[in-house]
Structure 1
Amino acid sequence: MRCFKGLAIVAIALTLLFAGAASAREIYGLSSGTVDFYTGNALLEEWRIPEARSLVDDLIKRAPEDTATLLLDGHVRFFEGDYKGALERLDGAGVTGSFRELVKVTSEISEGFKSRQSEHFEVFWENPKDEVLAGPALEGLEASYNELSKLLGFRPENRVRVEIYPTVADFTAVSTLTREEVETSGTIGLCKFNRLMITSPRVTFFGYRWRDTLCHEFAHLAVFRLSGGNAPIWIHEGLARYFEGSWRGRSGRVTPFALNLLAKRFSEDTLIPLDKMSPSVAKLPSAEDTSLAFAEVGTMVSYLIEHKGGDAPRKLLKLLAEGLGDRDAFAKVWGGTFSSFEDEWRSWVETLEVPSEDLEVMGISLKDSGGEPEAGKIPDPEAKDYTRLGDMLRARGRMEAASVEYEKGFLLLPENPAVVSKYAMGRIYLGQYQAALDAIEPVISLYEDRGSLWMRKGEALLALERYDEAASAFSELMEINPFDEPGRAGLVRSLEGSGREEEFKRAMKDLELITGGAPGGAHP
């Protein structure tokens, strides 16, 4: 989840150096055309697309058939999101190679896109069911825009392009990530080529916090533009992690899970060095390492802001844009050496309580991988056997007997999210709704990204006719897996029970959109 400079920019520079040499006027050994193309190249490198467009339009007026002008126009069009026009320009200039193929595949994949706009964003999607994401995506991004405009002074000149891809294959094709990197690191969103990209949570088994991800990528766009493309990965990810919750007033919030993971790996002396995070956290060897990297740099930024004030990120980005090195810029904002900052941050990490239980980091589980993965690991063999037996009994319609087995597993592992989810299911079946809530509450506070726990919580609250609380639980599930049909149905019933008529109508419409009017059955 990082911002990348444009692919094939170097190729532009090499081509245009040659193409501009025939122009008439010379300035310090360069023709005016070459100077223009250097300028265009530099603008593209920093994603200053409106300025690049203005330059290209001027070049077209002067030399509309010039090959180099067509080539530069093709690149600008690609960064503007005009993929078909970009391909036509590149073909007109006789371009071949990897960049032309990237433009071609992006043009083909986006051909059937539909879109919806807000004041500052335009969201594109292809699969009809993904339309359910458009409205909430725009709401979240606009809220994030309001925060980042105040905190960082970031106000893009044009609407930001946001693309939701219908398959993992499409996402990897246009992003240049590999499927292995997606599956290993859990990278499902990207800021690249002047746009935000995510894979639809519809193609995953358990979802992911997709609106946080979109706002994380928008923060990357801000960091890239405000730093002139000079921010290293660790600062990129630290600031993006800090601001990803800005859309709902949670800038700087560090989850209990992240703090626990950070404490655990610090105690084991296995933190990830900052330089090892380059060229991308997507290339780290495991989902746990990716989560740890986010925890490290996110808390570093939080620590800096806590001690140096809310304008620290803006100062840091300004120094980077001026060409100061990352550690020197950070040290200047800190008011001491970078080593002194690291020492203080490490001393703070050392005060964190090391968790007594092993933590489980769930990566992204893709539906097209074949088979259905378990919804979490159960490390105790006996508890795992009880849970499996409960699943077998439930599959045969013997839910009361299954509840007994789930309880046995729960007594052995009362803090394991997979076990607690099954135990709560059994309690709900038996009408023991408060027992289900009592079991869920301490676990969901740590594993707040587990959709099954929010589902159980919503079901129990709905049964107790605590409709507003149930709606909140089901809404949280929608932040993780908006295509969970039983969860959508639970949200509809909760809103209806609470008398929130307008929200009920919208939720009903969304449910019909993802189900075709036929809601799914029980939640696993």
Structure 2
Amino acid sequence: MKRTFSKRALGLVACALALSAALVVPARAGAGASNEPTPPSKPILDIGNHAARASELTVAQEYEAAHAELAKADPNDPAVVVAKARLALYEENCDLAVSLLGHGEAALSDEARLIGDVARGCARVTAATIVDKDEANGIVIRYHDEADRALGPLLVDTVLKARTSLARDLGVEWKKPTRITVVRDLLSLSAMTGLPYSAAQTTGTVAVAKWGRVAILSPRASNRGFAFRDTLTHELTHLAIAMQTHDRAPLWLHEGVARREEVRWREVGHFDDRPTPESVVLRGMEMKLDLPLDKLGPSIAMLPSADAATVAFAEVTSFVRFFVESSPEGALSKLLVALRETKEVDEALSRTSGETLAQWDVRWRAHLAKRPKEPLSPLLGLGASPPGLGDSRERARLAELLLGRDHAAEALMELDKVPSDLLGDPSLRYLRARVLEASGDTKAAETLLEDPKLWVASYGPCWAMRGRLARARGDGATADASFEQARAHDPLSVESACETSPAPGTNGKGTDGRSDPLCDAARRRYDPDIGRE
């Protein structure tokens, strides 16, 4: 998302929140985005229809069974040709999908045009990709940019832990391989998935789970990265839901479950429930941004604004949490299985819980009405900007330029004029800590970063500097935990990957004097330090 001020100071938090809120499954949204699936498939009623059965097997990632079903069908039937093209796209044989739909009656339907457009985009994007296959773990990762291969160990580790947590929570039996494509820009993300480019820009989409794989934006595409490990887990949740329900889950369930699961693969973090989704929903209701759960449209990534996407994600997150906490253990996994076998979500809900969506919605809203109102920081958006924000942006940018020219004392004078309540913005907190460090007041810099509860959002540079300062004073436990968070959010910065100051004059290597692939990739990125852009 473009800004007219420095992305490193005041306002980056809003950008980061929009990204996470738009992790869509066409989105950490982003959001986290999109994380939105296509409209649910209609139940297959004609069991003699080979094309329909093959398509259902395809979305469930039962590829061998889908091939076997299509082998029984008339190869000249247009529906069979479309089903073959869909299967080829799911198996990442994009060129075959293009050729199958290149001419003839099969290419005329709306479904064929959609698959054909995505297949052509997929063929363009993947034409020069680098592919790494982890045969033992059943993971295939494509990289649009070879420099992103350094992310491989982090990606594989995330996939393995996410598959384990999703199998535990949702009862899904994972089909292999798990396919991931790391793209370099939003245009490629759009081409690979069919999500409109304009929608990706509006809601800050950074990943999409669709066509049997996850396409995720490289962290290098954002100036300070994003929570790409949680984002990947969010998207893998969408794949799990599609497999388990044969892609019949409604959007609210897809997104609500994905937001719940995106953090359950790891230990509880400082920002997992900050702010609570309920507080965001209540603010959204005040702003008239809330929508009925069954009226969210085809994708949260296609809502009209990042604020609307943020509220929608909060709604579905809160609702699914309420459903899980109000139901017997295992209700969620049973609901997913029921959706595979029924025509409507109400039927599946009634079968597993005894109540329809409308009845659950009444109970959830009554639950919301009883909650005490929680204050939301103005820095989170969803309302008027905090007082003095415009002036503070200008002072922060001036401080950056002064620091970049080795005038730390003068930079600090500018930052001293910024209201203290704006220090909840971690991008500003990081800038001030860097200025204090350059001024020789390392202790004050440490104090500023010591308690993440004082930040309104997780921010890779804050974690990296916190870890670097902790390492210097001999606090290895804090350093290790901080750098783990830094690499989960901003893995391709020198400060995160190499555990060294990004300031000129440093050697760009880790504290032990050695480099590793991630550090090497960060140094090759040539990302200029603050004020030296």
Q: Distance in 1 between the 2:429 and 2:368 partners?
A: 29
Structure 1 residues 421, 148: CA separation in 2 closer, same or farther (over 3 Å shift)?
Answer: same
Structure 1 residues 416, 42: CA separation in 2 closer, same or farther (over 3 Å shift)?
Answer: closer
Out of 517, 524, 529, the position equivalent to 1:522 is: 529
Q: Which stretch of the first structure deviates more once superposed, 256-265 or 195-204?
A: 256-265
Identity level (%): 20
* CA-CA distance at 1:262 after TM superposition: 3.4
* CA-CA distance at 1:219 after TM superposition: 0.6
1 or 2, which has the higher helix percentage? 1
The equivalent of 2:344 in structure 1 is 325
Contact kept in structure 2, 1:5 and 1:193, CA below 8 Å? no
Contact kept in structure 1, 2:162 and 2:265, CA below 8 Å? yes
Structure 1 residues 86, 159: CA separation in 2 closer, same or farther (over 3 Å shift)?
Answer: same
- For structure 1, which runs of at least 5 residues remain unmatched after alignment? 14-29, 363-375
Q: Distance in 2 between the 1:485 and 1:75 partners?
A: 42
The equivalent of 2:479 in structure 1 is 470
The amino acid of 1:476's aligned partner reads Q
1:425 pairs with 2:458: no
1:125 pairs with 2:143: yes
Higher RCO (Cα < 8 Å, 6 or more apart): 2
Out of 508, 515, 518, the position equivalent to 2:516 is: 508
Contact kept in structure 2, 1:459 and 1:490, CA below 8 Å? yes
The equivalent of 1:84 in structure 2 is 95
* CA-CA distance at 1:339 after TM superposition: 4.8
Q: Distance in 2 between the 1:177 and 1:68 partners?
A: 24
Q: Which stretch of the first structure deviates more once superposed, 385-394 or 228-237?
A: 385-394
Out of 403, 411, 417, the position equivalent to 1:408 is: 417
Q: Which stretch of the first structure deviates more once superposed, 268-277 or 438-447?
A: 438-447
Q: Distance in 1 between the 2:364 and 2:106 partners?
A: 50
The amino acid of 1:37's aligned partner reads A
1:131-170 matches, within 5 Å, as 131-170=149-188
* CA-CA distance at 1:283 after TM superposition: 0.9
Contact kept in structure 2, 1:267 and 1:354, CA below 8 Å? no
- Return the TM-score normalized by structure 2: 0.78
1:68-124 per-residue CA deviation (whole Å, 9 max, x = no partner) reads 766543332222111223334444868656343432332232122222233232111
Q: Distance in 2 between the 1:181 and 1:39 partners?
A: 32
1:359 pairs with 2:374: no
The amino acid of 1:489's aligned partner reads C
The equivalent of 1:187 in structure 2 is 205
The equivalent of 2:13 in structure 1 is none
Structure 1 residues 227, 75: CA separation in 2 closer, same or farther (over 3 Å shift)?
Answer: closer
1:384-404 per-residue CA deviation (whole Å, 9 max, x = no partner) reads 454344234324321122112
Match of 1:256, SS state, is coil
1:460-493 per-residue CA deviation (whole Å, 9 max, x = no partner) reads 3244342442232233122122222233222699
Structure 1 residues 100, 205: CA separation in 2 closer, same or farther (over 3 Å shift)?
Answer: same
The amino acid of 1:512's aligned partner reads D
RMSD over aligned Cα, in angstroms?
A: 3.7
Alignment length (residue pairs):
481
Contact kept in structure 2, 1:6 and 1:193, CA below 8 Å? no
Q: Distance in 1 between the 2:322 and 2:212 partners?
A: 29
1:146-170 per-residue CA deviation (whole Å, 9 max, x = no partner) reads 1222222212333122111122211
Out of 287, 294, 300, the position equivalent to 2:313 is: 294
Q: Which stretch of the first structure deviates more once superposed, 402-411 or 94-103?
A: 94-103
Out of 261, 273, 277, the position equivalent to 2:296 is: 277
Q: Distance in 1 between the 2:415 and 2:145 partners?
A: 38
Bigger Rg, which one: 1
Match of 2:458, SS state, is coil
Contact kept in structure 2, 1:5 and 1:45, CA below 8 Å? no
The equivalent of 1:109 in structure 2 is 125
Contact kept in structure 1, 2:289 and 2:308, CA below 8 Å? no
Contact kept in structure 2, 1:164 and 1:198, CA below 8 Å? yes
